[in-house]
Amino acid sequence: SLSSSPVNATMTLLASALKDTHRRPSTCAELPDNALVLPATNQLIALLTIIRDKNTQRGDFVFTSDRIIRLLVEEGLNHLPITPSTITTPLGLEYEGVTFEGKICGVSIMRAGEAMEAGLRDCCRSVRIGKILIQRDEETAQPKLFYAKLPEDIATRYCLLLDPMLATGGSAMQAIEVLLSHGVKEEKILFLNLVSLNPRSPYTVPSLPNAHVIPDETIDIFSRRIEDRLRKIPQAHHCTLLLWHHLFHLFSLIRQLSEPQITAWVDEGLDEKRYIVPGLGDFGDR
């Protein structure tokens, strides 16, 4: 749909030019082609510096992350289809502009994703917003869908999926699958996040403490065969491989989306508690 009109084609070209020419974190090298990282402007780096700072107070954290979220939403909106629209200015002159085509909605992955709803509403006043709650199932240790409330006509909408931190990608993967199962077309999903993990990062710190970071039950995206193989290898490597496969699957899923994943920054790795590093801690808490 992006290349269906000359205006859209130009926008696509612009987006890829942006991607190639702006300063980007070195961790971007291995991103899927449709992962778009915001230009690393001084402004953005300054905002990220504030929210990464452990001494930043809650009010400043919220204010500053809202500013970054707006940048993400505005970039996301750039990927919606438009049609030519000619209007008349107060001076009686014709102006050949464009108008957005199609309906959108936001879907936040609870709970941290809800923090992005205000930024979306700032840009699209009466936008419909759905919610998805995915949590770790205590019995299986796998991410499980607990709750989904989505606009009934979601299949006809472009869907801005909101999750500030893309770490192991467990909930993101589930959420994308929930949207697909509700009839949302792949090419209509735009996934927005503030900080995402470099999919090729070395996930384990060398001194990964001991055997219990991830329990033996593996995440359900793996085939039995992989699960069995994983059980035979030492737990620290097990953990690395799990995360690796997990991310690999997530990024193949993202690769399938014809619309992009848009992130403000790509960070280096995960610590043993699966926080993104250098990161900014627990986004929901902060």
Exactly one of 119, 169, 170, 279 binds ligand URA (CB under 6 A); that residue is 279
Query: Does the active-site annotation cover 157?
Result: no
Nearer to ligand URA, 130 or 279 (CB): 279
Nearer to ligand URA, 154 or 166 (CB): 166
**What is each CA distance from 123 to 71, 117, 119, 138, in whole angstroms?**
10, 10, 7, 38
Q: How far is the CB of 278 from ligand URA (least distance, A)?
A: 10
Asked if residue 276 binds ligand URA (CB under 6 A), the reply is yes
Asked if residue 170 binds ligand URA (CB under 6 A), the reply is no
Total binding residues for ligand URA by CB under 6 A? 9
Q: How far is the CB of 136 from ligand URA (least distance, A)?
A: 12
Give the C-alpha separation, 41 to 264, whole Å: 10
Query: Does the active-site annotation cover 137?
Result: no
Nearer to ligand URA, 60 or 282 (CB): 282
Residue at token pair 């869908």: 145
Query: Does the active-site annotation cover 140?
Result: yes
Asked if residue 167 binds ligand URA (CB under 6 A), the reply is yes
Instruction: Tokens for 230, please give them.
Output: 């994983």
Exactly one of 80, 165, 175, 236 binds ligand URA (CB under 6 A); that residue is 165
Nearest to 5 by CA among 103, 84, 87: 84
Residues 98, 84 contacting (CB under 8 angstroms):
yes
Nearer to ligand URA, 102 or 202 (CB): 202
Catalytic-labelled residue, pool 53, 153, 216, 282? 282
Residue range at the interface with ligand URA (CB under 6 A); choices 33-41, 89-97, 170-178, 273-281: 273-281
Asked if residue 80 binds ligand URA (CB under 6 A), the reply is no
Nearer to ligand URA, 36 or 165 (CB): 165
Query: Does the active-site annotation cover 168?
Result: no
Nearer to ligand URA, 34 or 65 (CB): 65
Q: Is 39 exposed, middle or buried (0-12, 13-18, 19+ CB in 10 A)?
A: middle
Asked if residue 48 binds ligand URA (CB under 6 A), the reply is no
Chain residues 111-130 in contact with ligand URA, contact rule CB under 6 A:
112
Query: Where does this chain bind ligand URA (CB under 6 A)?
Result: 112, 165, 167, 275-276, 279, 282-284
Q: Catalytic amino acids?
A: 136, 140, 282, 285
